[in-house]
Amino acid sequence: EEQLVQSGAEVKKPGESLRISCKGSGYSFVTYWITWVRQMPGKGLEWMGRINPSDSSTNYDPSFQGHVTISLDRSISTAYLQWSSLKASDTAIYYCARHFRNYDILTRQFYFYMDVWGEGTTVTVSS
């Protein structure tokens, strides 16, 4: 079974650092990008960024660039999302997802959709 398993809930204080994880199994981990999505309490989904496990290249949404870092350890099929200094506004559920790439013959363009999701990691930042 193709799945992504995320690390458990975290409670942190403002200014602390944090790294959460997302482990893939049941498929070739290096074949598909891993993407991260934020959901603040009671709010919608926000795409944060992604990493290509084959070469560790990353893309970030401008809103999140510089605030978080996405990385991975290919040897254990695990991607990470990390903060160096948390803020209360980072309180949210964070989902990882497999970013499946497909190709549209008519427009000759690639497109990506999130076909396998982790269960989410709840991060609470409070003094």
What residue ranges bind another protein (CB under 8 A)? 35, 37, 44-47, 59-63, 95, 102, 104, 107, 109-115, 117-120
CB of 102 to another protein, least distance (A): 7
Q: How far is the CB of 65 from another protein (least distance, A)?
A: 9
With vertex at residue 102, the alpha carbon angle to CA 98 and CA 106, rounded to the nearest 5 degrees, is: 160
Q: Which is nearer to another protein, 86 or 99 (CB)?
A: 99
How far, in Å, CA of 20 to CA of 47, rounded?
16
Nearer to another protein, 18 or 39 (CB): 39
Q: Is 20 exposed, middle or buried (0-12, 13-18, 19+ CB in 10 A)?
A: buried
Check the CA dihedral 80-46-118-18 and report its sign. positive
- Name the residue nearer to another protein (CB basis): 44 or 75: 44
In angstroms, what is the minimal distance from the CB of 109 to another protein? 6
Q: Name residues whose C-beta falls within 8 Å of residue 75's C-beta, 6 or more positions apart in sequence.
A: none
- Identify which of residues 84 and 102 has a Cβ nearer to another protein in the complex: 102
Q: Name the minimum Å distance from CB 63 to another protein.
A: 8
